[in-house]
Chains A and B, each alone.
Chain A
């Protein structure tokens, strides 16, 4: 088991931002110390003058350096992209619960930028010699980050691997690999389909959710989703109760 540690504010140092696909970037953040992080946990980054920190799933964690994968979507990610080697960066982490790793034959599914925590999870499963297969879905081959180790790739336009949305391949993957557990991250519609397929095939699913957050620590209640608990529908915060939920507890709409 990975012993996770308490969240903390780090005045860290940015390393070079690298473009790793047509639309995604990779940055390593040097925190100056080793931090224990479970795959699925995230960090929040203060973006120079913006009120809300931006949350990012951890993509890698080596030698005191946290790596994240991101796309330029707005002011926050524009700021992160502009960082130069040696720039100070204010981060809080590790946040959230992370995947609850089980010693079971695992199917890992990542779609789009949702591959980030799944790729990190794969490395943690492999460290424990847990059998796993990683399937990734992208819009096209130019979207596939360089250096990522994915076993099965699907692209919407068929420019690499199987053609079509990864949603169309979920059933096939389950039938072919007979996983005992599925871990996933990606757009809501992908997660919903994975959770429902898991229920149908009686396979446990753990899915990492995303939502706009203010505090990142469970205080403001800004990022709640509906989950089922004791036959009732209750609020759960993505930032603290999640971001990883059991696919069967989430109320899908």
Chain B
């Protein structure tokens, strides 16, 4: 008998998720790579790899390194570009009945706007605005760290894109509240927090008194960033009216509950997809099982109790 997941439904300010478990941009490709492991259509939603107006080759140097509690990546937004996405990836997502959010990245305001217009034209239901990638030189992160730039960007995108608009926030700021408020004021329907932390790893190989160094500078993710993410969600929850999607180091049901307690309405699983490619589906089952066996009416009741 099929499991009934109806208690897990999340209404994210009009964007309906069958459950609160999403997968984070950059860790799930365009989803088809995960078909061998799980039924991807079961997920609340997947967020695609960042898509830009034109294809990007990404960075040339070493792109990943493991750290004690996670990893650092410096991919540099390598992606197929919006046209290829529309032509090749979108039909597959639709055919497989996958609820998805398109992560949109750009370097300039015009680039964001052009891409957003194409999303509108192709009736892409939900877009996550990437204003926080630490791995590209121009734009992107700059929009995410200064509230006026962010406000102007989100407002401009809002005017050309009518679908569900999520703004993904960076933790690399002094006041995440101000950035979140700017996104809300400009018309975002939700925020997701957090993107990766800026990090650097210098691995030193000692060879008979000489050093061989391998430096990777980029976005730090994984279990080590969870307290930073929880802190961001707590702070945003105090000041925002729009829903918050929590991201950062989630690996277990306890982590998911912790994000709910902090104020998140849904969560995204990121780095853990690499370690355990079936983890997102597992968490859905575990969450559902927890709600069923402990007599909660639904997910909303569970969240309310967690926030008391």
Contacts and interface: CB of A to CB of B under 8 A. Distances in A.
A224 B27 contact: no
B73 interface: yes
Contact of A218 (B33, B57, B63): B33
Q: Is the interface of A mostly helix, strand, loop or mixed?
A: loop
Interface in B256-308: 271, 273-278
A220 interface: yes
A214 B36 contact: no
A187 interface: no
Contacts of B62: 212
Nearest to B70: A51
A150 interface: no
Interface residues of B, number: 32
A50 B68 CA distance: 8
A202 interface: no
A51 B250 CA distance: 12
Contact of A51 (B28, B37, B63, B275): B275
B118 interface: no
Max chain B Cβ within 10 angstroms of own Cβ: one of A214, A216, A223: A214
Nearest to A5: B36
B277 A92 contact: yes
Given A214-B64, A219-B33, A51 B276 contact: no
B64 A7 contact: no
A9 interface: yes
Nearest to B224: A51
B65 interface: yes
Given A51-B71, A220-B26, A220-B73, A8 B36 contact: yes
Interface in A1-47: 6-9, 46
Interface string B244-258: 000000000000000
A7 B62 CA distance: 26
Given A214-B71, A218-B33, A222-B73, A51 B274 contact: yes
Contacts of A220: 26-27, 64, 73, 75, 274
A83 interface: no
Contacts of B64: 52, 212-214, 220, 222-223
A240 to B, nearest CB: 8
B110 interface: no
Interface string A214-237: 111111111110000000001100
Given A92-B277, A235-B57, A224 B36 contact: no
B63 A222 contact: yes
A7 B36 CA distance: 6
The listed residue with most B CB atoms (<10 A of its CB), out of A6, A213, A221, A224, is: A221
Contacts of A215: 27, 33, 273-274, 277
Nearest to B58: A221
A235 to B, nearest CB: 6
Contacts of B277: 9, 92, 215, 217
Nearest to A217: B33
A224 B71 contact: no
B36 A6 contact: yes
Contacts of A8: 36-37
Best-surrounded residue of B27, B28, B65, B66 (most CB of chain A within 10 A) = B66
A52 B29 contact: no
7 contacts: A215-B27, A219-B27, A219-B33, A221-B58, A221-B78, A223-B63, A235-B57
Interface of A: 6-9, 46, 50-53, 92, 212-224, 234-235, 240
Q: Closest 6 CB pairs between A and B? A: A222-B64, A219-B29, A215-B274, A6-B36, A214-B274, A222-B63
Given A51-B223, A223-B64, 10 more contacts: A6-B36, A7-B36, A46-B275, A50-B66, A51-B271, A53-B274, A217-B277, A218-B33, A219-B49, A224-B63
